[in-house]
């Protein structure tokens, strides 16, 4: 059995003490982003249940980047979940996880007697943040981009959705054309 050298022992001690380092968030931006939208479906009042087929618009990929590999992606995501309050680590997309990998099915929606050109949109909540971790031998810097959850929106072309949500406005513009106020 080989005995660890002094350099290896110090590196291991440094990495393990860095694992408990405090994460300080220097910026954090959280927003919903459009990921899928269906083509416009022409619906008559008598149609009842209508099937929409969402198409991928944008693929969000979760990633953690650091200036030093002593900080694990798991450590960063755990600190982020704690910072977000109300979210669990298991709900955040792990590094490399793509929103395009979520199971997507055709959406069957009751038109509720509405007639017109209808659209269904879906989005995920995205968090982009930068951070610093205090470690022996100097600070480690990094950034994280991850996503979680999903939401849907039903839109009728020609009817202003009256929302400030950019992802819903984007879905409307992509499928129905310019928003009219």
Task: Please provide the average confidence, as pLDDT, over all residues in the chain.
Answer: 85
Answer whether residue 12 shows pLDDT above 70: no
pTM comes to: 0.80
Q: What is the pLDDT of residues 60-96, one digit of tens each?
A: 999 999 998 888 999 999 999 999 887 788 889 999 9
What distance in Å separates the CA atoms of residue 181 and residue 162, rounded to the nearest whole number? 9
Spell out a b/e string for 36-56, using b for 16 or more CB atoms within 10 Å of the CB, else e: bbbebbebeeeeeebebebee
Answer whether residue 38 shows pLDDT above 80: yes
pLDDT band for 14, please (50, 70, 90 cuts).
very low
According to DSSP, residue 157 is labeled T
What distance in Å separates the CA atoms of residue 91 and residue 149, rounded to the nearest whole number? 7
What distance in Å separates the CA atoms of residue 70 and residue 56, rounded to the nearest whole number? 36
Which residues does 2 contact at the CB level (< 8 Å), separation at least 6? none
33, 151 contact by CB (below 8 A): no
Answer whether residue 9 shows pLDDT above 60: no
Residue 112 CA to its chain's centroid (Å): 31
Q: What is the pLDDT of residues 102-145, one digit of tens each?
A: 767 788 888 777 889 999 999 999 999 999 998 888 899 999 99
What distance in Å separates the CA atoms of residue 155 and residue 168, rounded to the nearest whole number? 8
């Amino acid at each position: 059995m080989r005995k660890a050298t002094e350099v290896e022992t110090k590196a291991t001690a440094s990495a393990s003490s860095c694992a408990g380092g405090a994460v300080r968030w220097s910026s954090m931006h959280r927003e919903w982003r459009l990921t899928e939208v269906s083509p416009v479906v022409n619906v008559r009042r008598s149609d009842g249940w209508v099937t929409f087929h969402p198409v991928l618009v944008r693929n969000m990929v979760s990633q953690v980047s650091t200036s030093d590999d002593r900080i694990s992606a798991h450590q960063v995501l755990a600190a982020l979940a704690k910072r977000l309050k109300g979210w669990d680590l298991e709900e955040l997309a792990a590094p490399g996880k793509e929103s395009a990998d979520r199971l997507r099915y055709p959406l069957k929606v009751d038109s509720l007697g509405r007639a017109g050109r209808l659209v269904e949109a879906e989005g995920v909540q995205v968090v982009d943040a930068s951070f610093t971790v205090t470690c022996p031998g100097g600070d480690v810097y990094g950034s994280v981009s991850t996503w979680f959850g999903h939401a849907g929106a039903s839109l009728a072309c020609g009817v202003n959705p009256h929302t400030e949500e950019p992802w819903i406005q984007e879905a409307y513009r992509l499928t129905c054309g310019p928003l009219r106020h």
